[in-house]
Structure 1
Amino acid sequence: MDTERLRQVIGWLATAGLEEFALTEGDSDLILRRRQAPAATPAAAPQPALAAAPAALSPAGVEIHAPLYGICYLASAPGASTFVTAGQAVKAGDPLCLIEAMKVMNTVAAPRDGTVTQVLVADGEEIEEGAVLMVLE
């Protein structure tokens, strides 16, 4: 399975809301399981592995957590405009940032419509799984 096909499958899984997904293509077998970000409250719903995980609703809005460990990029390429800035309105599914893990770029998307009130990471910053990346109101 080539990298582009793998990205397509992961992207689809992020929006499908499944806990686990298995795929066989030719001689390749792929099993993907969703890991939950650390929940701030016991009532937090499980989130897809590559979607922005709104784990806590604070007075300032929904915290967007990193779904995995890696390097966070706020733009699609060096020198390009950032995906979002504080005060910018976004729609559900809009890209907020990229996280590079094992040479694969993973898009963190807005979980719902809203306004980005805070960007809490710097471009190129190493982040841990569960780290708060942004706040969406």
Structure 2
Amino acid sequence: MKISDIPQVASWLSEAGIATYELTGPDYRICLRRSVKARSRRGLSAGPRQDSAGPVRGQSDAVVASPGVGVFLRAHPVQEAALVEPNDPVAAGQPLGLLQVGPILLPVLSPRDGTVASIIAPDRSLVGYGDPLVALMS
């Protein structure tokens, strides 16, 4: 890889909605990161269609999707308690779970304030990019 390749790689990562990418070679190591706020909304998909008045309180109105491929963890490996449970209030940016990619743990963050409607992905399940993990409600 050449330094001149970095802008193209960064563009591909941005288009794919990837926030962090690390590449190591025999004589180089690069790490590209984008702000979580700058990440595309591909990781958030709408729930069931609602009328123009908006979602009904108590129903799932957003699904937080996996930002990549890995193992979904509800709790940190050295802790027993899950990061969130159904009916827990959450704030924007709060960790909802972790995505384990090899030895790396990446937080799965709440995109907004709300309440956890349900945990969709089973603990320690293998998930792919875009798989639903957690349902939120207003």
Which residue identity does 1:130 align to in structure 2? G
Aligned equivalents of 2:127, 2:86: Cα separation in 1: 19
Aligned equivalents of 2:119, 2:95: Cα separation in 1: 13
Count of residues in correspondence between the two structures: 102
Stretches of structure 1 that go unaligned for 5 or more consecutive residues are 1-17, 35-44
Deviations 1:52-102 (A, max 9, x none): x21224352101100101001000125510011111110011110001113
Structure-2-length-normalised TM-score: 0.62
Tell me which stretches of 4 or more aligned residues in structure 1 moved more than 3 Å: 18-22, 31-34
Q: Which has the higher helix share?
A: 2
TM-superposed deviation, 1:19: 8.0
Larger radius of gyration: 2
Partner of 2:65: 65
Stretches of structure 2 that go unaligned for 5 or more consecutive residues are 1-16, 22-27, 50-59
Aligned equivalents of 1:93, 1:86: Cα separation in 2: 17
Describe how 1:1-137 pairs up with structure 2 within 5 A: 28-32=29-33, 46-47=40-41, 53-58=43-48, 60-77=60-77, 80-137=80-137
Give the % identical residues: 23
